[in-house]
Chain A
């Protein structure tokens, strides 16, 4: 089941084609993560799913209808998107910013409703920013700010949530915090989440459905345990690695080849790497 799909989607910036006719069905109620090397078109694809970019060919479909033909406000009630580096107006407070997520549910003469208040209160509680309500967004730490932006996207109260590299600029504990929050939202509210991540291991840990892209095409997709293999890592990222089960989650963990040392100046090949004993049968070295 999927409400959101891409069909023969081609995306271009001016005359440079970045994504070449991909087909993609976003599984409903699951966490989908798109991974791939820099400039593989993953963020571009996400932006097109959130109608920030018009397709040069093909279409993005929401419930079978082309996004381009749905009123943008209607889309905003179904799909929320957190851009890669959102900018808050100067001096805006947390509660004010989160409240602006209610825009698609409001009208000129209906600027605030009980429903708005409930959604904003709920979004802020879930992201644990209620205590920051009165603080200016400029004064927050990176992790806090990212939680505030997620709260704003949540307040929008959409079934689908698109996140463009939500962990960039965050230190590792905040990265984990944000990704855990995303998973929790998915579990508790059954929200469909699509995130672009550049860290393959994080993607493997948090995704139900993994989409690997390279050069504007989808190379592989499916559950991380099936998709993430040393071959795929080599093919997509051009990196020699060993894939072992994550000691905590059992999901595939990509361990890149040994770093440079004077004794072994040659970049190791995956075949040369020692392969540890596999504990589960889900990963193939």
Chain B
């Protein structure tokens, strides 16, 4: 009788509780493992990216340059390849998180900034800017404004005393189509030289991008880190149905708006830097979720997956038809399209959960 038969207590399955002082955080063990593996993979892909090119640089020399040690390969690695890779990396991270947030709100794996009109809005306004001769330095701001405006339109039309996931996606697709036709209108009205320039931008390319794009993008993303940390927590309840979440004291309308705005800003700044790199925001969160097997879309792992996808796709884009360089968006689209078809064939497009 004296044996202690303390009843085992129940914790959320698969989570570890991390305590620091009065604070306590839930850490999903498998997600932490997946994030570590993805981080290592990303590092490896980045080193490979910096090594491979017209001339091969040994990984040891690459690390020297990245760590700021003097090296003979400073020019090739540090000046030519590193800035472009950094843009790709940041764009991948941003699209990964943006897709995860928008899919969470829409509860639909089809919802991503490039499907529901946000990329199309950014494109329409940017191409319009190009057509009217706006200088390249302010064009990224045009993209951001375009993305936000498109998102506001979708929100406005989809809102009917609440936000219904299916309507949100369908209206987004409709607005995307309308915006695409506006882009085409600009393209046909402008002279062919500018149209050519616009078309490269539209296919999503980090070719020729450097620190001028990477630095503001990095600052914008850094500024959004608190919002993303908040979002990671909010996802736990937003992924429940509306009635249950409201009963748990969640202000759904506000929380959803916060998640969408964070996602749209991320997608828009990334589009501003590299154009609409198709399918990354759609693919990355779903790949990440399948890896972590979490009940909601894991943000950190989506970000890392997005970065791995963009950096490796750009590496392929540089090498595949060398010396001709493909825009990275062409490759991500080639990867993403079969996935999209598979997703549609599985019949989950109207499913209740992202």
Contact = CB atoms under 8 A, between A and B. Distances in A.
B296 interface: yes
A153 B249 CA distance: 12
A109 B351 CA distance: 32
B49 to A, nearest CB: 34
Nearest to B348: A90
Interface string A90-127: 11111111111101100011111100011011001100
A92 to B, nearest CB: 4
Given A83-B244, A86-B243, A111 B250 contact: no
A86 B239 contact: no
A1 interface: no
Nearest to A164: B243
B106 to A, nearest CB: 14
Contacts of A120: 9-11
Max chain A CB contacts within 10 Å: which of B12, B13, B229, B247? B247
A187 to B, nearest CB: 22
Interface in A28-56: 47, 50-52
A95 B13 contact: yes
B39 to A, nearest CB: 23
Max chain B CB contacts within 10 Å: which of A77, A94, A99, A118? A99
Interface stretch (A18-26, A68-76, A222-230, A237-245): A68-76
A91 B293 contact: yes
A162 B28 CA distance: 31
A134 B240 contact: no
Contact of B247 (A50, A71, A90): A50
A113 B10 contact: no
Interface in B276-332: 293-296
Contacts of B11: 95, 99, 112, 117, 120
Contacts of B295: 88-93, 96-97
A95 B14 CA distance: 9
Interface string B230-256: 100100110111011011111100000
Contacts of A100: 236-237, 240, 248
B243 A83 contact: yes
Max chain B CB contacts within 10 Å: which of A50, A92, A110? A92
A68 to B, nearest CB: 13
A113 B24 contact: yes
Contacts of B23: 109-110
A134 B249 contact: no
A126 to B, nearest CB: 12
B346 interface: no
A71 B250 CA distance: 10
Contacts of B250: 72, 103
Given A89-B353, A124-B10, 10 more contacts: A72-B249, A72-B251, A86-B240, A87-B244, A93-B14, A95-B11, A99-B10, A112-B11, A112-B17, A156-B247
Interface of B: 7, 9-15, 17, 22-26, 229-230, 233, 236-237, 239-241, 243-244, 246-251, 293-296, 351-353
14 contacts: A75-B249, A76-B249, A91-B293, A95-B10, A95-B13, A104-B249, A108-B233, A109-B22, A109-B23, A109-B24, A110-B22, A111-B25, A117-B10, A153-B247
Interface of A: 47, 50-52, 71-77, 79-83, 86-101, 103-104, 108-113, 117-118, 120-121, 124-125, 130, 133-134, 152-153, 156
